[in-house]
Structure 1
Amino acid sequence: MEIHTPALMELNNENKLYNPLVVSPILFVFSLLIWLKLSRNKTLNLPPSPPSLPIIGHLHKLGKLPHRSLRDLSLKHGSLMLLRLGQSPTLVVSSAESLKEMVKNYDTVFINKISTTAANIFFYGYKDLAFTPYGDYWRQVRKLCVLELLSVRRVHSFQFVREEGVDALVRKLDVAAVNGDVVDLTEMLMAVTTDIVSRCVISRKAGQEDDNGGFNFGQLTRRIMVLFTRLCFGDFFPWLKWLDHLTGFVSRLKSTFEELDSFFDRVIDEHKGKEAMDEKKDLTSIILQLQKEGMVGVELTQDNIKAILWVCFILPFYLSMFSLNASILFTPY
């Protein structure tokens, strides 16, 4: 005969709850996680890090103006600071001396950039110089950019473009001063920078409308830069990547990329129809000529060329962003 009382039933339920077959795996998993965390902290000499929250890490500390938040945090925790942005451990470098030492002595350790959804789409699966993983292809593209596209001789050859762009800017400021107009200097500097870079790469101003349907590359560039700065769940939490599809963010990236890809296809086709150019040739013509002569050292497809041209456009903007924000982000491990 079995006697069932409330106290006995409660005891039986507790025994079921604390059944070793149920509790042991849970304890094992928690013990393993704690051991991994402690062992990582012992083996890695990590930089200072502010207190973080579970799951989101330090995302809540970035605020609406991330560059100012990073500056304030670096003043408190030092020029080398470790932040956990979601599931991405990120090293924040806010000192020119520290960055110089890293680039000089530990270049191969920090050479790989953070992989993002936007970069993967806009740079043709990381076929550019900025985001491509370290390896033979990266070395060949870097050699191409350093020796042929960004060499001292090549930069001097575009001096007339820079002089004309700065002269046009000064004239606009002079007219505005005479008329007493208020000007947005940041917008004007960005516009002249975009036009100079665009003329060096494709021999046309970014704000100049295309012959095919009035396409404005400058406006497209601004849209892409805005998309680069938007929050992407999959970049911080890979298990939430599906939310980027649900919110339509990935579809906006792909539709904008299609416009960019179509534009570069037209530019390359136009340059292929031109004859061999003189010393004032742009970067597109230089790459196509090197590809034709087989002097690149690596096979360049149409997508490779477009990715390299695109990074030539955005490189000045990233450099200006880094100089203004005084903070550079790396994935340390």
Structure 2
Amino acid sequence: MDHFTLQILFLSLLLFLTIICFIFYRRKWQSQPVTPPSPPRLPIIGHLHLLTDMPHHTFSELSQKLGPIIYLRLGQVPTVVVSSAQLARLILKTHDHVFSTRPQLISAQYLSFNCSDVTFSPYGPYWRQARKICVTELLSSKRVSSFQLIRNEEVNRLLTALSTRSGSEVNVSELFFSLANDILCRVAFGRRFTEGREGAAEGQKRHLARVLTETQDLFAGFCVGDFYPEWKWVHSVSGYKKRLMKNLEELRKVCEEIIEEHSHPRDENKEDFVDVLLRVQKRDDLEVPITDDNLKALVLVSY
């Protein structure tokens, strides 16, 4: 074999390898999703260090540098942040059905009875039905107007409490917190935030307030495990799962007690949201049946 033939074979082999490499890398590039601009991230935590006490300020500063759409990696969770009205309209209105499903947070899996409330249930027939019930039966102008008496009574109660404390220091934030919770609980459950069954001991009367306050804290609190869904052990090590399970047990008992109270005939003029849900649950035209756990989750939505 002469020198010229060896050159031809070598060039042919080189061309063949070049074509193979091109095809391989082209497929690799095509298989990788195209992501928006992203700031430098740290190992393991990704961009979690950017979530300060004022994360929206950080996002605003990043949008000025990187543009109106940013890709972040919060632990193991891919996240897209948009900072323009046009993009927000596309996400919240034009393509809202694509983005309507909420993340399956560990707190929601427990405290909304396996994500069966309106906030965390996946988009589909059940979510549409639950949303319709809440909009028509809880948020309609007629229903909101029907609770005017409750709002007036609770505001008058607040004013009376303030008048008795004339000349002394008053924690206004605490009073307004109690006012909002009393109104919400009366609308939803037919009782005040710190009120229990008639004849119950004072400790039992405050049980509802304690349980719901813990529920609020668990929903609003920062949970590291939500950013590392593949690391199931984080919830157990942090003690967060134990708190959730305890609160779920107490929450279930409270809801069952409230539902039991409403299972007896009541004055239609004093109908609250639990009464409405119990009535709706018995209908034959529901697209998706409402289970007892669904009922408990929807009861808590009104709160």
Of structures 1 and 2, the one scoring higher in RCO (CA 8 A, sep 6+) is: 1
2:120 pairs with 1:131: yes
2:293 pairs with 1:303: yes
User: How far, CA to CA, are the matches of 2:301 and 2:239 in structure 1?
Assistant: 25
User: How far, CA to CA, are the matches of 1:92 and 1:117 in structure 2?
Assistant: 22
Tell me whether 210-219 or 111-120 shows the greater mean CA deviation: 210-219
1:291 paired residue among 277, 281, 293 = 281
User: How far, CA to CA, are the matches of 2:31 and 2:63 in structure 1?
Assistant: 22
Q: Once the 2 structures are TM-superposed, how far is the Cα of residue 166 of structure 1 from its aligned partner?
A: 2.6
User: How far, CA to CA, are the matches of 1:186 and 1:37 in structure 2?
Assistant: 55
User: How far, CA to CA, are the matches of 2:151 and 2:81 in structure 1?
Assistant: 33
**Aligned twin of 1:70:** 56
Structure 1 alignment gaps of length 5 or more: 1-30, 314-333
Q: Is the 8 A contact 1:194 1:206 kept in 2?
A: yes
User: How far, CA to CA, are the matches of 1:134 and 1:293 in structure 2?
Assistant: 22
The 3 A distance-change label for structure 1 pair 182 and 147 is closer
**Aligned twin of 2:169:** 181
The 3 A distance-change label for structure 1 pair 151 and 71 is same
**Aligned twin of 1:200:** 187
2:40 pairs with 1:40: no
The 3 A distance-change label for structure 1 pair 37 and 250 is farther
TM-score with structure 2 setting the length: 0.79
Q: Once the 2 structures are TM-superposed, how far is the Cα of residue 120 of structure 1 from its aligned partner?
A: 0.2
SS in 1 for 2:232: helix
Q: Is the 8 A contact 2:38 2:72 kept in 1?
A: yes
The residue correspondences of 1:156-167 to structure 2 (distance < 5 A) are 156-167=145-156
SS in 2 for 1:115: coil
Q: Deviations over 1:196-217 (max 9, x none)?
A: 1100011101111443761521
SS in 1 for 2:104: coil
Structure 2 alignment gaps of length 5 or more: 1-23
The 3 A distance-change label for structure 1 pair 161 and 75 is farther
Q: Once the 2 structures are TM-superposed, how far is the Cα of residue 265 of structure 1 from its aligned partner?
A: 0.5
User: How far, CA to CA, are the matches of 2:83 and 2:104 in structure 1?
Assistant: 21
Q: Deviations over 1:297-326 (max 9, x none)?
A: 32111111001111221xxxxxxxxxxxxx
**Aligned twin of 1:262:** 253
The 3 A distance-change label for structure 1 pair 230 and 221 is same
Q: Once the 2 structures are TM-superposed, how far is the Cα of residue 110 of structure 1 from its aligned partner?
A: 1.4
TM-score with structure 1 setting the length: 0.73
**Aligned twin of 1:219:** 210
**Aligned twin of 1:118:** 107
User: 1:70 corresponds to which letter in structure 2?
Assistant: H
Q: Is the 8 A contact 2:59 2:81 kept in 1?
A: no
User: How far, CA to CA, are the matches of 1:207 and 1:280 in structure 2?
Assistant: 20
2:272 pairs with 1:279: no
Which has the larger Rg?
2
User: How far, CA to CA, are the matches of 1:282 and 1:131 in structure 2?
Assistant: 23
**Aligned twin of 1:317:** none
User: 1:194 corresponds to which letter in structure 2?
Assistant: N
Q: Deviations over 1:148-196 (max 9, x none)?
A: 22212111111111222233334444555x314242x333222211111
Q: Is the 8 A contact 2:224 2:234 kept in 1?
A: yes
Q: Once the 2 structures are TM-superposed, how far is the Cα of residue 239 of structure 1 from its aligned partner?
A: 2.9
**Aligned twin of 1:234:** 225
Q: Is the 8 A contact 1:144 1:296 kept in 2?
A: no
Q: Once the 2 structures are TM-superposed, how far is the Cα of residue 226 of structure 1 from its aligned partner?
A: 1.7
Q: Is the 8 A contact 1:74 1:80 kept in 2?
A: no
User: How far, CA to CA, are the matches of 2:276 and 2:215 in structure 1?
Assistant: 25
The residue correspondences of 1:141-160 to structure 2 (distance < 5 A) are 141-160=130-149
Q: Once the 2 structures are TM-superposed, how far is the Cα of residue 86 of structure 1 from its aligned partner?
A: 0.6
**Aligned twin of 2:6:** none
SS in 2 for 1:90: strand
SS in 1 for 2:122: coil
User: 1:264 corresponds to which letter in structure 2?
Assistant: C
Q: Is the 8 A contact 2:50 2:58 kept in 1?
A: no
SS in 2 for 1:179: coil
User: How far, CA to CA, are the matches of 1:233 and 1:202 in structure 2?
Assistant: 33
Structural RMSD (CA): 2.9
